[in-house]
Amino acid sequence: MKKVIIALAVLVMAFGNVGFAQRNAHLKSNATTNVLKHFGVRGETDMVPLAAHWHDTYDTYYSTEYTYDEDELYLVEEVTRMNEGDGWTNSSRIQYEYGFFGNVIEMLCQEWDGSDWADAMIVSYSYDEDLLSEVVYQVDLGSGMENYLKEVYNYNGDESTVLYWEWTGTTWASSELYTYTYSVGSIELVIQYMQGGAWQYDERQLFALNFDEKVEEIIVQDWSGTTWVNDERTIYDYDGGEVFDTKGIYVWTGDDWAQEYHFIYEYDENGNAKYGECFYVYDGNLMDGDNDIEMAYGYGAASNEYYGWRVEVEYVDLTSVKDNISASRFLVYPVPAQGEVFIEAEGFQKAEIYSLTGQKLMESLRDRMNVSSLSSGLYIMKVYDREGGCATQRFVVK
């Protein structure tokens, strides 16, 4: 989870004004992002947001600035400000804390109370080795921080589950079960809720993936009691490229899909969405509208959402900020690797191995790694030095 963190600035900004159901929906959407990363649909990228500016159709303006640690290159803080026509004021702040291996272990979400920052939510992350295993949300509902929601992750090959527990005031009670099933070209998510001591079907989401393992369609269906019924459909139009130029949200009318929202995007030369705009579709016409605008970056490796009408995002390449290991002093051998791989790098600190989709597979504090468990193919080696610099190199496992 290094570098790429799903931003919750909009959620925190409105934290005190949303109901429990809406708040839970925002929180639980993060589980899908985490599982997509586990399946390799999402990954890591050195291109990250530096600042975002957006506004809604009610002329409320927002601005978020992202701050990264100069040595470790981790996202450490997001600060969002807003302007409703009477000047800019603080709105929300998110601060991140990381563990030894670079995984985020705590996220502190705060709201501006008019004179100072007030804690609104604390999110704690636990890992089983390098796999996310548990997320605990604590919120301040007026009398201090208290347990609110817990996610427990389980990975079993092509099937992953996220079990949700809600705090009753004295103990945790299971509330919902998300089951993700991956197959070539698709992912199925089935959502069940606990009622009367048994799991009941609630919702199903069908993700269609293109040849690049990127999401091109999501169909949401509700359980009628006997069968699944279409509800909502999202279509990403890549137009033959690596990024989606438009996105459409459709609703089921009973016999056909009718478009409700239309999004258009502009990208920079590095595959980062620098501009996004939302339209509400009314009687076949495009009207200015507000919705969550998904801004993908790193050619779709990650994305943030900003609720509004128009969004502009600036990005920075972290490797251009700090990349102190020269290629001539970073050597991986033998090539192809078989059994054990050796690393030569001046000031070596640690090494990580990634799949081509960005999934971290191995990590070592030694300058040698046993790769016998890896399948034959092409991988990415990322090496860090003691000065905080890093460099990457592709290598082959036989």
Residues 135 and 215 placed together within one structural domain of the fold: yes
Binned at pLDDT 50, 70 and 90, residue 14 comes out as very low
Q: Residue 49, preceding bond cis, omega within 30 degrees? A: no
CA–centroid distance for 371 within its chain: 28
345 pLDDT above the threshold of 90: no
User: C-alpha distances in angstroms, 217 versus 75, 116, 256, 332?
Assistant: 30, 43, 16, 40
Which tokens go with 88? 């800019």
- CA quadruple 36, 32, 298, 210: dihedral positive or negative? positive
Q: Residue 365: which domain range? A: 327-397
321 pLDDT above the threshold of 60: no
Region 257-273: what's the mean pLDDT? 96
- The confidence score (pLDDT) of residue 328 equals 40
21 pLDDT above the threshold of 60: no
Binned at pLDDT 50, 70 and 90, residue 13 comes out as very low
Nearest to 49 by CA among 276, 317, 319, 323: 317
- From 297, 321, 345, the end of a domain falls on 321
Residues 196 and 283 placed together within one structural domain of the fold: yes
- From 266, 298, 321, the end of a domain falls on 321
* C-beta neighbour count of 169 within 10 angstroms: 7
Q: Any idea what the CATH number is for the domain that residue 352 is in? A: 2.60.40.3080
Tokens 């139009």 -> residue: 237
Q: Does 1 map to a domain?
A: no
- The confidence score (pLDDT) of residue 176 equals 96
Least confident span in 16-25, 151-160, 350-359: 16-25
Q: Does 3 map to a domain?
A: no
- From 300, 321, 342, the end of a domain falls on 321
- The confidence score (pLDDT) of residue 16 equals 38
Q: How many domains does the chain have?
A: 2
Q: Does 4 map to a domain?
A: no
* C-beta neighbour count of 338 within 10 angstroms: 13
Q: What single DSSP character describes residue 240?
A: T
* This prediction's pTM: 0.76
Residues 310 and 332 placed together within one structural domain of the fold: no
Nearest to 260 by CA among 292, 236, 222, 286: 286
Residue type, position 17, single letter: N
Q: Which residue has the higher pLDDT, 207 or 395?
A: 207
Residues 92 and 188 placed together within one structural domain of the fold: yes
Q: Any idea what the CATH number is for the domain that residue 93 is in? A: 2.40.160
User: C-alpha distances in angstroms, 153 versus 161, 362, 375?
Assistant: 6, 20, 25
DSSP state string for 123-191: EEEEEETTEEEEEEEEEESSSSEEEEEEEEEEEETTEEEEEEEEE-SSSEEEEEEEEEEEETTEEEEEE
3 pLDDT above the threshold of 60: no
Residues 153 and 106 placed together within one structural domain of the fold: yes
- The confidence score (pLDDT) of residue 1 equals 30
Taking the C-alpha atoms of residue 245 and residue 345, their distance in angstroms, rounded to an integer, is: 41
- The confidence score (pLDDT) of residue 290 equals 97
Q: Residue 336, preceding bond cis, omega within 30 degrees? A: yes
Least confident span in 40-44, 57-61, 216-220, 379-383: 40-44
Residue type, position 71, single letter: D
- The confidence score (pLDDT) of residue 12 equals 36
Residues 49 and 121 placed together within one structural domain of the fold: yes
